[in-house]
Chain A
Amino acid sequence: MSTVATKDETPARGSTSHARELNGWWFAKLAVMAVINAGLLYAVYSSFMVEEWWILAVTVVLLVVVNWVYFSKRMVPAKYLLPGVIFLLVYQVFTMGYTAYIAFTNYGSENTISRDQAIEQILRTGDVRVEGAVDLPLKVVRNEAGELGFAVVVDDTVEAGTADEPLDTVDGATIDDRGAPQEVPGWQILSLAEVLEVQGEVTALRVPFSDDPEDGWVRTQTGAVGFQSSPRFSYDEAADTFTDVTTDAVYTPNDRGFFESQDGTRLTPGWPVTIGFENFQRMLTDSRISSALLQAGAWTFAFAFLSVATTFFLGLFLAMTFNHPAVRGRKLIRSLLILPYAFPGFLAALVWKGMLNNPYGFINSTILGGADIPWLTEEWLARFSIIAVNLWLGFPYMFLIATGALQAIPGDVYEAAKIDGAKPFRVFRSITLPLLMISVAPLLIASFSFNFNNFNLIYFVTEGGPNIPGHPLALGETDILISVVYKVAVVAGTKQYGLAAAMSILIFVIVGLVSWLGFRQTRKLEEVL
């Protein structure tokens, strides 16, 4: 019993372990821990300052766990697992969970920021002149960074500011005999001619009185006299409504994360709210989306399957061809054949895009002597081209693994087949292929799921095109599911993160299912043989 314990807790006894560990290693560990602790403490401090409570909580937990694990004498496995697990939890597990959450919300271009931020932005969106307020003598100025601003005289003191920097008293400024600012230290006053040059910007500029948008702004129409303006939409905190002061229309929050008036006008931006299964429903019932998804899904399966099949058979054919003891220069052949594998994939895809261009690409203009073949712009040719490009990219990988697997098949199996009088094709079908499959099948499944999400290839060769005419999500004929997600979330004019996340979940379910079925199948394969 006691011997087992000493084995697991490596430093056999506390007293000797210190003596043994007090060397360079130990100081190195201490230094690393000091750096990590400093970083975490800084993160705790700064997330507290900006009131990001979730980040604060996570960093505090990390601080405790890290020190506990690395300064305790027990928990040896945890010392090795922790770094990877932390990154895995934050950047993979959390983002997976967060994706699932987003899928149930209406996150999108107009619903990204929090409710409070949205209210503040709405307060800034419009303004109206304050009736009866005094005009302010004004000069248009620039600060040291060259940003336009105003210098105004308020109660005999000169204040200056820009669009992002509220008005503040300037020390040592002077006022001329007409009551306007004369000299403003730290600011450069623009002459009338200079003001005329940037007239558009000057009349659009709003310099806030304070950080609170409800305090209003200084604006000008002439460049010499400023007037006070206040937000067009005033927020009533108690009732949680906005009122348009020009029309008296009242905007109340709706369940879509917007303030909306009775006639249906919305104030933007809004904030994200959960909307249940709506994103999933849209994928199934909105015919424009569901038909595109169905098409992209079918193409994704076809593309991934054909990619694996074509690359595997070409790779296997080449492997069998050169796996002959009498072939000389096999090393050289291998070095040259893995060139496409070594060449960065995204660059290769772009190079092929250039070669397949119509009419300027090398293939049309030179190899085919000026042919006019729309390799990338006709639906079926584009699909063919993508598979052909992926064949080039993928066959060396299959060649390498097939060569490795072939060399692992014992020679006496072939001897036995020869004695039985089996023909070459029969040997291939009944011996080589089944034996090869045992070691290669899991790799083929991995390759399938890799190609299932081979965004780079599709995006760089065709960008999903040719476009389906007039499609609301601007999808193309060769879009695979992952590029559809990218387009919905990043490329589209109105980004629909919620919908994109729901689609991601769908892809995850499909890939997980296929991999699971595949691995189960291969395990069966192993059991049979």
Chain B
Amino acid sequence: MAAVTDATGLRKAARRNRWWRDLSWRYLVAVVAIAYAAFPIVFVISASLSRRGTLSGTTGLFTSVTTTQYEALFETLFWQWMLNSLIIGGVSAIGTVLMAAAAAYAFSRFRFKGRRNALTLLLLLQMFPQLLAFVAILLLLLALGNAIPILGLNSRMGLIAVYLGGALGANTFLMYGFFNSVPRELDEAARIDGASHSRIFFTIILRLVAPVLAVVALLSFVGSFSDFIIARVVLTQQDQLTVAVGLYQFVSGQFDARWGIFAAGAVLASIPIVLLFQFLQRYIVGGLTAGAVKG
């Protein structure tokens, strides 16, 4: 009897030992890594709740909790900027998904002349980041604005159109791979049942690749939400600015004095994006390994 309990005790000890050696440090790393990842975010939340809105006043975290900074923020055009960013980001995300998906469908399901060359060309174009051409974009919109004001400078539609220019380059490849993984037999079956190509595209294929659509939409949304150069060049009127350009104004001149307002704006602006990421986490991991890069 004594020998048996001894043996189980030993086994338990050994197991504990192995746990200690194999796992304990992993939890330690987890704690350190999470602290590292979360710290700046905790800091900015604390700054947004402080009573004094200056950078120099920050001596500890959460030394005071007030809504002063948020109230000051709401007296600026913040909500207008936020709305602009959501509209610009939302419309360009939807447009990007539709156009890139349509192109990927064409490349994946049809065999036409110049198909391979077109694919190679897209791969090449993808290397040229749009923001490198911002000077040309500025001059193009200057001329376009004369004839079609809605596509010119200082127009949200104009900015959306610029972002849509990057729709095919970056995302078609990612989608192309996913479209190829949808079995062709499904199309064939639907076609025999009398479905047209557009019906196959909209009601069968798009549904099956919904996860990658979500990822492309999210990354495109974040890309235009975070863009600074092109938005700065295109939009100049205060009430048309995006959140990125608007919030930057708070800290570009008097960095110290308006820190609290900026922090409050940063917290509010990041909430929708962080939530989207958390909800779409599972799909994002799948999309990333297939080659998506966040802008």
Chain A residues within CB distance 8 Å of chain B: 7-8, 10-11, 17, 20-21, 25, 42-43, 46-47, 50, 52, 54-56, 76-81, 83-85, 87-88, 90-96, 98-99, 102, 107, 112, 318, 321-322, 324, 326-327, 329, 333-348, 350-355, 357, 360-362, 365-366, 392, 396-397, 400-401, 403-405, 408, 439, 442-443, 446-447, 449-450, 453, 455-456, 459-460, 482, 485-486, 489-490, 497, 500-501, 504, 507-508, 511-512, 515
Map CB proximity to A onto B125-137 as digits: 1 under 8 Å, 0 otherwise. 1011111111111
Expressed in whole angstroms, the Cα–Cα distance for A360 and B54 within the complex equals: 9
From known contacts A11-B196, A343-B41, A352-B40, infer whether A87 and B128 are also in contact, taking CB-CB under 8 Å. no
Expressed in whole angstroms, the Cα–Cα distance for A402 and B148 within the complex equals: 47
- Chain B residues with CB under 8 A of A341: 277, 294
Q: Nearest Cβ in chain A — how far from B287, in angstroms? A: 10
Give the residues from 218 to 242 in chain B that come closer than 8 angstroms, CB to CB, to chain A: 222, 225-226, 228-229, 232-233
Q: Which of A91, A352, A392, A485 has the most CB of B within 10 A?
A: A91
Contact check, B135 vs A93: say whether CB atoms are below 8 A apart. no
From known contacts A350-B251, A350-B262, infer whether A343 and B22 are also in contact, taking CB-CB under 8 Å. no
From known contacts A102-B139, A456-B226, infer whether A354 and B128 are also in contact, taking CB-CB under 8 Å. no
- Chain B residues with CB under 8 A of A93: 125
Q: Nearest Cβ in chain B — how far from A120, in angstroms? A: 15
Q: Decide if B83 is an interface residue (CB 8 Å cutoff).
A: no
From known contacts A107-B139, A348-B40, infer whether A453 and B266 are also in contact, taking CB-CB under 8 Å. no
Q: Nearest Cβ in chain B — how far from A447, in angstroms? A: 7
Q: Decide if B169 is an interface residue (CB 8 Å cutoff).
A: yes
Q: Decide if B82 is an interface residue (CB 8 Å cutoff).
A: no
A-B contact list, 12 entries, CB within 8 Å: A80-B105, A88-B167, A88-B169, A91-B162, A340-B41, A344-B244, A350-B248, A354-B255, A366-B59, A404-B288, A447-B293, A508-B127
Return the chain B residue nearest A100 by Cβ.
B136
Expressed in whole angstroms, the Cα–Cα distance for A322 and B22 within the complex equals: 11
Expressed in whole angstroms, the Cα–Cα distance for A8 and B197 within the complex equals: 10
Q: Decide if B194 is an interface residue (CB 8 Å cutoff).
A: yes
Q: Nearest Cβ in chain A — how far from B237, in angstroms? A: 17
Chief secondary structure at chain A's binding surface: helix
- Chain B residues with CB under 8 A of A443: 288-289, 291, 293
Return the chain A residue nearest B244 by Cβ.
A346
From known contacts A336-B34, A439-B289, infer whether A87 and B294 are also in contact, taking CB-CB under 8 Å. no
Contact check, B132 vs A342: say whether CB atoms are below 8 A apart. no
Return the chain B residue nearest A91 by Cβ.
B165
Among B26, B47, B129, contact of A322 (Cβ-Cβ < 8 Å): B26
Map CB proximity to A onto B187-207 as digits: 1 under 8 Å, 0 otherwise. 000010010111101000000
Q: Nearest Cβ in chain B — how far from A459, in angstroms? A: 7
Return the chain B residue nearest A89 by Cβ.
B165
Q: Which 10 A-B pairs have the closest CB atoms?
A: A91-B165, A342-B277, A47-B147, A84-B99, A80-B106, A98-B136, A95-B133, A404-B289, A95-B136, A360-B56
Expressed in whole angstroms, the Cα–Cα distance for A87 and B133 within the complex equals: 15
Expressed in whole angstroms, the Cα–Cα distance for A488 and B26 within the complex equals: 49
Expressed in whole angstroms, the Cα–Cα distance for A344 and B270 within the complex equals: 6
Among B40, B199, B222, contact of A355 (Cβ-Cβ < 8 Å): B40
Expressed in whole angstroms, the Cα–Cα distance for A352 and B228 within the complex equals: 17
Contact check, B281 vs A334: say whether CB atoms are below 8 A apart. yes
From known contacts A77-B106, A88-B167, A400-B285, infer whether A25 and B199 are also in contact, taking CB-CB under 8 Å. yes
Contact check, B251 vs A504: say whether CB atoms are below 8 A apart. no
From known contacts A318-B29, A324-B22, infer whether A87 and B167 are also in contact, taking CB-CB under 8 Å. yes
Contact check, A357 vs B255: say whether CB atoms are below 8 A apart. yes
Q: Decide if B3 is an interface residue (CB 8 Å cutoff).
A: no
Expressed in whole angstroms, the Cα–Cα distance for A442 and B43 within the complex equals: 35
- Chain A residues with CB under 8 A of B129: 449, 453, 511
Q: Decide if B278 is an interface residue (CB 8 Å cutoff).
A: yes
- Chain B residues with CB under 8 A of A401: 288-289
Contact check, B26 vs A489: say whether CB atoms are below 8 A apart. no
Expressed in whole angstroms, the Cα–Cα distance for A400 and B106 within the complex equals: 31
Among B59, B161, B286, B289, contact of A91 (Cβ-Cβ < 8 Å): B161
Chief secondary structure at chain B's binding surface: helix
Among A347, A354, A512, contact of B127 (Cβ-Cβ < 8 Å): A512
- Chain A residues with CB under 8 A of B251: 350, 353-354
Expressed in whole angstroms, the Cα–Cα distance for A20 and B196 within the complex equals: 9
- Chain B residues with CB under 8 A of A326: 19, 22-23
Q: Decide if B67 is an interface residue (CB 8 Å cutoff).
A: no
From known contacts A91-B165, A92-B169, A490-B233, infer whether A456 and B41 are also in contact, taking CB-CB under 8 Å. no
Contact check, A360 vs B256: say whether CB atoms are below 8 A apart. yes
Contact check, A489 vs B112: say whether CB atoms are below 8 A apart. no
From known contacts A50-B147, A321-B29, A347-B266, infer whether A336 and B38 are also in contact, taking CB-CB under 8 Å. yes
Give the residues from 41 to 61 in chain B that come closer than 8 angstroms, CB to CB, to chain A: 41, 43-44, 47, 54-56, 58-60
From known contacts A43-B148, A88-B165, A94-B140, infer whether A442 and B127 are also in contact, taking CB-CB under 8 Å. no
Please give the number of chain B residues whose Cβ is less than 8 angstroms from any Cβ of chain A in the complex.
Answer: 104
Q: Decide if B88 is an interface residue (CB 8 Å cutoff).
A: no
Contact check, A446 vs B291: say whether CB atoms are below 8 A apart. yes
Contact check, B229 vs A455: say whether CB atoms are below 8 A apart. yes
Expressed in whole angstroms, the Cα–Cα distance for A504 and B132 within the complex equals: 6
Expressed in whole angstroms, the Cα–Cα distance for A289 and B168 within the complex equals: 35
Return the chain A residue nearest B113 by Cβ.
A77
Contact check, A351 vs B266: say whether CB atoms are below 8 A apart. yes
Contact check, A354 vs B136: say whether CB atoms are below 8 A apart. no
Among A84, A85, A339, A501, contact of B37 (Cβ-Cβ < 8 Å): A339
Q: Nearest Cβ in chain A — how far from B168, in angstroms? A: 4
Expressed in whole angstroms, the Cα–Cα distance for A455 and B132 within the complex equals: 10
Q: Decide if B259 is an interface residue (CB 8 Å cutoff).
A: yes
Q: Decide if B247 is an interface residue (CB 8 Å cutoff).
A: yes
Q: Decide if B216 is an interface residue (CB 8 Å cutoff).
A: no
Contact check, B34 vs A337: say whether CB atoms are below 8 A apart. yes
Q: Nearest Cβ in chain B — how far from A506, in angstroms? A: 10
Expressed in whole angstroms, the Cα–Cα distance for A346 and B136 within the complex equals: 24
Contact check, B58 vs A365: say whether CB atoms are below 8 A apart. yes
Return the chain B residue nearest A391 by Cβ.
B36
Expressed in whole angstroms, the Cα–Cα distance for A65 and B59 within the complex equals: 64
Contact check, B133 vs A47: say whether CB atoms are below 8 A apart. no
Expressed in whole angstroms, the Cα–Cα distance for A439 and B277 within the complex equals: 23
Q: Decide if B72 is an interface residue (CB 8 Å cutoff).
A: no
Contact check, B143 vs A55: say whether CB atoms are below 8 A apart. yes
Q: Decide if B146 is an interface residue (CB 8 Å cutoff).
A: yes
Q: Decide if B30 is an interface residue (CB 8 Å cutoff).
A: yes
Q: Decide if B2 is an interface residue (CB 8 Å cutoff).
A: no
Contact check, A504 vs B133: say whether CB atoms are below 8 A apart. yes
Among B38, B99, B102, B110, contact of A339 (Cβ-Cβ < 8 Å): B38
Q: Nearest Cβ in chain A — how far from B140, in angstroms? A: 6
Expressed in whole angstroms, the Cα–Cα distance for A480 and B127 within the complex equals: 18
- Chain A residues with CB under 8 A of B274: 339, 342-343
Contact check, A87 vs B127: say whether CB atoms are below 8 A apart. no
Give the residues from 242 to 261 in chain B that come closer than 8 angstroms, CB to CB, to chain A: 244, 247-248, 251, 255-256, 259
Q: Decide if B273 is an interface residue (CB 8 Å cutoff).
A: yes
Return the chain A residue nearest B58 by Cβ.
A362
Contact check, B228 vs A354: say whether CB atoms are below 8 A apart. no
Q: Decide if B213 is an interface residue (CB 8 Å cutoff).
A: no
Expressed in whole angstroms, the Cα–Cα distance for A7 and B226 within the complex equals: 45
- Chain A residues with CB under 8 A of B233: 490
Return the chain B residue nearest A463 by Cβ.
B252
